[in-house]
Structure 1
């Protein structure tokens, strides 16, 4: 397969783009101070409107609630600290993981003006809204990490993690390096979210020479995984790569103990978090997990504005740093969404571009290069032709009730993987 020939460091093109944007700003774009105040995505004088769609009552609300809390807290922190000159008006609503409701809420968000940025959630709704987002020129930062959102058909979509398929690729690379004779299968919910990494993941498994078994369906609302595990056992699967949320993951692991304890389970981004691990340490023991950002404990052990924002938010709201229901990686995920929005605004301002216009935020996003996400994640880089923020997977393994960092999987930035 074709390898990407792009260099991660492109000084000539970056400088040309920066000179062009600065010239455009000098030629007639309104200054930040002069353009805010009415319409055009503004929430009032000196404010920027950044609404959000969250699942707080639907089938993915187990991970949606702490994520929503992280974003809301981070936007409050940005306002209170005066990080930017504008006040951010963040109106986050619960759409219960319903595509029709997401469309309705989107229409409401844009009825009185076009916000420059929206924080989104699920794969089905984010993919459904992508044409509207592109038409209205709104930067859409979602919690869906579907590779389809990185194609030319979704030019205004961004996210803050290793894409779903590449998370699976990180696990597959580990298997190929450590157990090349192992047989793998994908287990997932029959949803756009669940199916997102399967096609590309299976193609990479075959490229690595791994044997691939039949797909296995495990619904988001599953209360038993006995049938699925029997299928895996009959097919002699060694590794199950699981794309789901934490609730069905817990069901799968609980039933594994009785039906097929020998099978290894490798979870993608929403399947494992500190709450579930601490609630059921024996059930989760040995499970592997892949993501592009850090756990809550890792963030707290480090430094940066991300840590500062979380500490200040917990103190302000009276939250308990020892409560894994909130102090978990999904909360960090939500903070990342807000920080990506913040960084886009900051880069637009640096270019003398009006941050209340989504097309300006989108242009500014491509100034983000090798950014450490304020200490929250692997470095992010966005490019016009490649909006994958990172190709580095952080691999964890659950040991004694803790998510312990194991290794990094450095994946190639291949052009033929964009959208797959």
Structure 2
């Protein structure tokens, strides 16, 4: 696809392509979902650990596809002065499997970066990642991953707790005195925003109800909704994936239709909204990057990448199984890897983990080629943004509502 002449990052990439010369053109990499990747000896290896069949695969699979597609685009369009080799596997949301894959990917020459996935596995690997000094870009937005104890972890979104804080700030501004409660799966992913979120709710003067557990594998939410109803909860802050969100909403109409559900980043996407528009009507949602259509409308390099990816793979943009915001999430992960690596090369450094980490700090006020709120990483603060984009499901679509700017409090790091 043609790209915009005015794009600064693209212009820089064009200069690098000219410097490389014609001999570097035409590089292509087969990115099948299996360990091994390509075979270019000059390539930089960036492995992937994805959930495409496990408990979070409803959102994990399109994200994995987005990352693989974008790495293919990076290689085909010569955006980096070295090819990216991307061996990747499905770990099915099993922590031991993720740990085994990590050992396989790091048993020889250690890669400077890895693209990972979930909270339980990312947190379990964080100590090893720090010891091995490998940048780990994951889809876990746990505040635990931006502390001094986890110096090699990076992510591209508002952290989970601050996603909840964005909802809470909106509630306090629009319905002061309301009662809220957290509903979540009882695992590290589900628990991540609860304690810090409740503290902020109390600070805002909101009444806080009892915690409610809704497992990832739930097939009914009747008991949970009765608990919310009996507790006179006005807003449920929901940390889960889209599958249990659908279960919650299916039972909400009969048990407690008056409660408003505020979903965090993995609870809502275009696929589930299009499949069940009446169920999702009125649901509120938060994210720091754009929906699939919002990404296309951004008219930047990010939009060009997505369009080119779908054209290359002969995918339909009318198929929300892939054409959805979780695909955009995967594109952003690949762009973070690209930018960190490119900054490392621009610094004149070898592509090692410590140098790549330093390269990540070169990402400053960067909107991911039009796909997100601007991200900035600092040595003492790896929270990429404190801006929440709030949406409401209206007439079968995710409609952007407003942004919430949260204070960048040091005491919130890790909470």
TM-score normalised to the size of structure 1?
A: 0.89
In the other structure, the counterpart of 1:391 is 386
Is residue 2:409 matched to residue 1:417? no
In the other structure, the counterpart of 2:309 is 313
What per-residue deviation string (whole Å, max 9, x for no partner) do you get for residues 57-93 of structure 1? 1110110110000000000000000001111011110
Of residues 116, 140, 153, the one that matches 1:144 is: 140
Answer 1 or 2: higher relative contact order, Cα 8 Å, separation at least 6.
1
Provide the C-alpha distance between the structure 1 equivalents of 2:393 and 2:99, rounded to a whole number of angstroms. 38
Of residues 154, 162, 168, the one that matches 2:164 is: 168
Provide the C-alpha distance between the structure 1 equivalents of 2:338 and 2:123, rounded to a whole number of angstroms. 23
Matched residue of 1:167: which SS? helix
Is residue 2:376 matched to residue 1:378? no
Is residue 2:115 matched to residue 1:119? yes
What per-residue deviation string (whole Å, max 9, x for no partner) do you get for residues 246-267 of structure 1? 0000000010001000000000
Of residues 94, 105, 117, the one that matches 1:109 is: 105
Q: CA deviation at 1:43?
A: 6.6
Provide the C-alpha distance between the structure 2 equivalents of 1:347 and 1:297, rounded to a whole number of angstroms. 29
Matched residue of 1:367: which SS? coil
Is residue 2:76 matched to residue 1:80? yes
In the other structure, the counterpart of 1:63 is 59
Structure 1 spans left out of the alignment, 5+ residues: 1-32, 34-41
Is residue 2:247 matched to residue 1:232? no
Matched residue of 2:369: which SS? helix
Provide the C-alpha distance between the structure 1 equivalents of 2:121 and 2:91, rounded to a whole number of angstroms. 10
Matches within 5 A, 1:233-272: 233-272=229-268
In the other structure, the counterpart of 1:16 is none
Q: CA deviation at 1:372?
A: 1.1
Provide the C-alpha distance between the structure 2 equivalents of 1:346 and 1:318, rounded to a whole number of angstroms. 29
In the other structure, the counterpart of 1:361 is 356
Provide the C-alpha distance between the structure 2 equivalents of 1:49 and 1:70, rounded to a whole number of angstroms. 18
Matched residue of 1:375: which SS? coil
Provide the C-alpha distance between the structure 2 equivalents of 1:296 and 1:129, rounded to a whole number of angstroms. 30
Query: What value does the CA root-mean-square deviation take over the aligned residues?
Result: 1.1
Q: CA deviation at 1:136?
A: 0.8
Q: Would you say the 8 A contact 2:40–2:83 is kept in 1?
A: no
Is residue 2:270 matched to residue 1:274? yes
Is residue 2:333 matched to residue 1:337? yes
Provide the C-alpha distance between the structure 2 equivalents of 1:326 and 1:58, rounded to a whole number of angstroms. 17
Of residues 172, 177, 185, the one that matches 1:181 is: 177
Q: CA deviation at 1:306?
A: 1.1
Provide the C-alpha distance between the structure 2 equivalents of 1:259 and 1:43, rounded to a whole number of angstroms. 56
Provide the C-alpha distance between the structure 1 equivalents of 2:39 and 2:210, rounded to a whole number of angstroms. 50
Q: Would you say the 8 A contact 1:43–1:49 is kept in 2?
A: no
Provide the C-alpha distance between the structure 1 equivalents of 2:402 and 2:116, rounded to a whole number of angstroms. 30
Provide the C-alpha distance between the structure 1 equivalents of 2:171 and 2:305, rounded to a whole number of angstroms. 37
Matched residue of 2:236: which SS? strand
Provide the C-alpha distance between the structure 2 equivalents of 1:370 and 1:101, rounded to a whole number of angstroms. 36
Provide the C-alpha distance between the structure 1 equivalents of 2:400 and 2:59, rounded to a whole number of angstroms. 21
Is residue 2:386 matched to residue 1:405? no
Q: CA deviation at 1:346?
A: 1.2
Provide the C-alpha distance between the structure 2 equivalents of 1:254 and 1:74, rounded to a whole number of angstroms. 35
In the other structure, the counterpart of 1:27 is none
Provide the C-alpha distance between the structure 2 equivalents of 1:62 and 1:322, rounded to a whole number of angstroms. 18
Q: 1:229 to 1:386 in 2, by over 3 A?
A: same
Q: CA deviation at 1:45?
A: 2.6
Provide the C-alpha distance between the structure 2 equivalents of 1:43 and 1:51, rounded to a whole number of angstroms. 13
What per-residue deviation string (whole Å, max 9, x for no partner) do you get for residues 133-174 of structure 1? 011110000000000000000000000000000000000000
Paired residue total: 379
Matched residue of 1:372: which SS? coil
Provide the C-alpha distance between the structure 2 equivalents of 1:304 and 1:387, rounded to a whole number of angstroms. 25
Provide the C-alpha distance between the structure 2 equivalents of 1:365 and 1:244, rounded to a whole number of angstroms. 29
Provide the C-alpha distance between the structure 2 equivalents of 1:60 and 1:45, rounded to a whole number of angstroms. 34
In the other structure, the counterpart of 1:29 is none
Is residue 2:351 matched to residue 1:351? no
Provide the C-alpha distance between the structure 2 equivalents of 1:285 and 1:200, rounded to a whole number of angstroms. 28
